Amino acid sequence: MTNFKNTLNTRTNHIPFLDLKLINRNYEKSINEVLAKKISSGWYILGEEVKKFENSFADYCGTKYCIGVANGLDALMLLFKASGFPKGSEVLVPSNTYIASILAISLAGLTPVLVEPDINSYLIDPKKIEEKITENTKAILAVHLYGKCCEMELINEIAKKNNLKVFEDAAQSHGAMYLNKKAGSLSDGAGFSFYPTKNLGAMGDAGAITTNDDNLASKIRELRNYGSAEKYIFGEQGINSRLDEMQAAILNVKLPDLDQDNKIRRSIAKRYLTEIQNTLINLPFEGTIDDDAWHLFVIRTDDRNKLREYLMHHNVGTDVHYPVPPHKQSAYKEWNNDSFPISEKIHKEIISLPLNATLTEEEVSYIIEKINLYK
């Protein structure tokens, strides 16, 4: 076990919120080897590494198909475009989410309709979904925020009752479980991001779609490649959104360790949940702790800036996911005067603590100690 003092010296007397250099250090030799091999192969787009990753990640998620794309935003947008909904159709999406969840709907020519989250889970509240359904509603986007799966059984029941499609924004839930099934296999299709900070992170932008739908998978493969199923023949107006061979090779190196990394994240989350005892801190809902991927450990407090400054003074980095709710963003001015009080409360109070597989027991103990001493 690394001595805490030495760890702080290694980290320049500071525990960062996230240290990607340290996270990737263990893979450096393997990644250099696969990249050197790939460079010498002369094949850089839609080659063997992409095929290998698509097959491996589909097996991992428990789906028939995985289609690699350029990033998580494209993954969601292509899901909606491939579904063939009439232009302007409504898609229900949580009001508490990263902007990409909503941009994907808009970029596909559809209309996002915001639904408030549950204050305990921070996820879309199934009890509030049906009141937002209209004759123009075609789908529900369930966002597995922070690594916790939405209540998919209830959401799928609502969708079936109202003849709607269900999609997952699984950008933060690699390896998360729900009723013994992995995120990405709980709906008609799911979009993943492999942005470097994710539980399964590339070294650049990368994404994928998982689905069991034969037609949807075929359509997405066309749309990601300019709308072409056959070289120089274009049956659809598609886009250029292909997972490249270099990023696929990196993901192939990292995927076998994902479950072990998530196990470490869960152990740290359990310590935070059981050992942080400060009435000024609202801890996340722990009902599914052993199923969650714990991409982020998000707490709430009345004076966020005060707590962040206090922790920074004690050499602990934090982040905020996310400070401004989507309906208050200039990108969606038409919503700026709308009221979503639960989302607004969440976005005003949340702070993300360090949580990743490189943290030592001593660092976790130090973070817990400082939070418990906060007044």
- Give 45's strand partners: 244
DSSP label at 238?
Answer: -
Interior/surface letters 56-88, b for 16+ CB within 10 angstroms, e for the rest: bbbebbebebbbbbbbbbbbbbbbbbbbebeee
Is the pLDDT at 224 greater than 70? The verdict is yes
Question: What are residue 143's phi and psi, to 5 degrees?
Answer: -100, 115
Residues 129-179 pLDDT 10s: 999 999 999 999 999 999 999 999 999 999 999 999 999 999 999 999 999
Is the pLDDT at 8 greater than 50? The verdict is no
Predicted confidence at residue 1, as pLDDT, reads: 31
CB 148 within 8 A of CB 123: yes
Confidence of residue 6 (pLDDT cuts 50, 70, 90): very low
Helices (H), the chain: 4-10, 20-25, 28-41, 48-61, 72-83, 99-107, 152-161, 214-223, 245-254, 258-275, 304-313, 341-349, 361-373
Please give the average per-residue pLDDT across 103-129, as a whole number.
Answer: 98
- Reading the block at residue 113, the tokens are 């309709």
On average, the pLDDT of the chain sits at: 95
Is the pLDDT at 10 greater than 90? The verdict is no
Residue 319 in 3-state DSSP?
strand
Please give the average per-residue pLDDT across 256-277, as a whole number.
Answer: 98
Question: What are residue 289's phi and psi, to 5 degrees?
Answer: -55, -40
Is the pLDDT at 227 greater than 80? The verdict is yes
What is the CA angle 266-208-109, rounded to 5?
115
Please give the average per-residue pLDDT across 228-257, as a whole number.
Answer: 97
Is the pLDDT at 286 greater than 90? The verdict is no
Pairing of strands 207-211, 111-115: unpaired
Pairing of strands 228-230, 233-234: antiparallel
Confidence of residue 252 (pLDDT cuts 50, 70, 90): very high
Over the Cα atoms of the chain, what is R_g? Answer: 21
Residue 354 CB-half CA count within 13 A: 26
Q: Which of 192, 182, 165 is nearest to 101 (CA)?
A: 192
Q: Rounded to an integer, what distance in angstroms lies between the CA atom of residue 74 and that of residue 62?
A: 22
Residues 182-220 pLDDT 10s: 999 999 999 999 999 999 999 999 999 999 999 999 999
Is the pLDDT at 2 greater than 50? The verdict is no
Residue 337 in 3-state DSSP?
coil
Is the pLDDT at 314 greater than 90? The verdict is yes
The DSSP line for 60-122 is: HHT-SEEEEES-HHHHHHHHHHHHTPPTT-EEEEESSS-HHHHHHHHHTT-EEEEEPBPTTT-
Residues 79-104 pLDDT 10s: 999 999 999 999 999 999 999 999 99
For the chain, the helix, strand and coil percentages under 3-state DSSP, each to the nearest 5: 45, 15, 40
Query: Which residues, other chains included, contact 185 with Cβ-Cβ below 8 Å and sequence gap of 6+?
Result: 61, 62, 63, 210, 212
Predicted confidence at residue 287, as pLDDT, reads: 76
- Reading the block at residue 322, the tokens are 């996310």
Q: Rounded to an integer, what distance in angstroms lies between the CA atom of residue 301 and that of residue 176?
A: 26
Confidence of residue 285 (pLDDT cuts 50, 70, 90): confident
Is the pLDDT at 7 greater than 90? The verdict is no
Kindly list the distances between the CA atom of residue 181 and the CA atoms of 4, 61, 62, 63, 153, in Å, as whole numbers in the listed order. Answer: 38, 8, 8, 10, 11
Residues 32-54 pLDDT 10s: 999 999 999 999 999 999 999 99
AA letter at 173 = S
Q: Which of 168, 175, 172, 245 is nearest to 204 (CA)?
A: 245
Predicted confidence at residue 3, as pLDDT, reads: 38
Predicted confidence at residue 242, as pLDDT, reads: 97
- The Cα diameter of the chain in Å comes to 66
What is the separation of C-alpha 293 from the centre of its chain, rounded to a whole number of angstroms? 10
